[in-house]
Amino acid sequence: MNHKNRRKAKRQRWLQRKREKEAEERRKDRERRIEERAEQLIAMRANDSKVLEEPHAPEPPKKKLRLPTKDVAVKEINSNHIVRTKKHLGSGSYGSCFLAFYRGITVVVKELQIHSSDQETKEDAKKRTHNELLNEANIITKLGDHPGLPLLFGICSKSTPYRLVLQFHGNGCDSLTLLRALHSKLVAKKREWDAIMIKTAEALQHIHSVGFLHNDLKSNNVLLDKRGTVLTPVIIDFGKSRPISNPMGPKTLSLEEQVRYKKKYPHIAPEIVEGRAGQSVASDIFSFAKIVEQIYLKCKFEELPHLVTLCLSPSVEARPRCAELY
């Protein structure tokens, strides 16, 4: 290679490095502007929550709903339209949740993590997680419009990580679970807790009336959404939800395993753990009553209401229905 060609090659390498450096600077500048915009939107929402006063209008009479026989259409969302913030809202076996903005709307994005066991390949685990995403999205959509249930904007199912995009519920920009509210003593008066639990029972009754079981109702799966001065409970996480007509059967555990399971998952009805019966409306009722019991014990209220005590009965037949609780 002569001197002229070497100079030309050197200049081309220099131009390439310059273009790459400029592209990197543009990318960093774009990310900085997105983050600044996200912080502005967070501040705006926090300010709005302080001044918003929303009267608590009575709910219209509930209608008996029928379970749709076919899957309903769920909107596919372009992940490029989601602006993720650094605010992590929670995590579990499913993956994690974080605060984000979708077309200027405050949302929570639930990212499903792909876990592969020894018995399945990575591709099988990916397909299973994809099916779990579609199943949860379909159930939330079929549940319809109810103030005590999440509002689904859509899903990101074309590429991993698979995502559910839902309306954000909380206090300002802070996610507020019932468990967190209980430990922070944000709600102190018994009448306030009673009002929250009545609304939770109404939401659970709606789930059952549409034809579904929740199967994982606990204080960490109930959010409190501050609307003006009113705290409205919203039941979340339908990853284990199933149709009433197609529940999971009872577990097969040794006595030692049963003791460990009950200690780890006290909200699961005893008949499921002990292998006496499968999931049912009654097992959801038991889980609801465990939340009420948790509130009464933590707040040191008086004796549990008789109906709630019945809900905690080991006998499935002795437990009342949701409609009898409010």
Q: Which residues pair with 145 in a beta bridge?
A: none
pLDDT classification of 228: cutoffs 50, 70, 90: confident
Distances (CA, A) of 281 to 78, 109, 225, 278, 316: 37, 29, 25, 10, 9
Q: Was domain 79-168 assigned CATH 3.90.1150.10?
A: no
- What is the predicted pLDDT for the residue at 44? 62
Helix (H, G, I), strand (E, B) or coil at 90: strand
The chain-wide mean pLDDT, for the chain, equals 87
Concatenating the DSSP letter of every residue in 258-305 gives HHHHHHH-TTS-HHHHTTS----HHHHHHHHHHHHHHHHHHHT-SSPP
- Annotated binding residue at 110? yes
Closest CA to 240 of 265, 205, 271: 265
Phi, psi of 243 (to 5 degrees): -65, 145
What is the pTM (predicted TM-score) of this model? 0.77
pLDDT tens-digit map of 256-293:
999 999 999 999 999 999 999 999 999 999 999 999 99
Can you state the percent helix, strand and coil of the chain, rounding each to 5?
45, 20, 35
pLDDT classification of 62: cutoffs 50, 70, 90: very low
Closest CA to 110 of 16, 17, 215, 236: 236
Res. 55: pLDDT tops 60 = no
Concatenating the DSSP letter of every residue in 120-173 gives S-HHHHHHHHHHHHHHHHHHHHHT-S-TTS--EEEEE-SSSSEEEEEE--SBTT
- What is the predicted pLDDT for the residue at 17? 85
Contact 210, 166 (CB under 8 A): no
Task: Compute how many other C-beta atoms are within 10 angstroms of the C-beta atom of residue 116.
Answer: 14
Helix (H, G, I), strand (E, B) or coil at 203: helix
- What is the predicted pLDDT for the residue at 35? 62
Res. 68: pLDDT tops 60 = no
Mean pLDDT of the region 226-236: 90
- What is the predicted pLDDT for the residue at 70? 58
The ranges of the chain annotated as CATH 1.10.510.10 are 171-324
Res. 47: pLDDT tops 70 = no
| Percent over 70 (pLDDT), the chain | 86
CATH number of 171-324: 1.10.510.10
pLDDT tens-digit map of 184-207:
878 889 999 999 999 999 999 999
The ranges of the chain annotated as CATH 3.30.200.20 are 79-168
pLDDT tens-digit map of 117-128:
778 899 999 999
C-alpha atoms less than 13 angstroms from C-alpha of 59 in its C-beta half-sphere: 13
pLDDT classification of 38: cutoffs 50, 70, 90: low
Helix axes 281-299, 190-210, angle to 10 degrees: 170
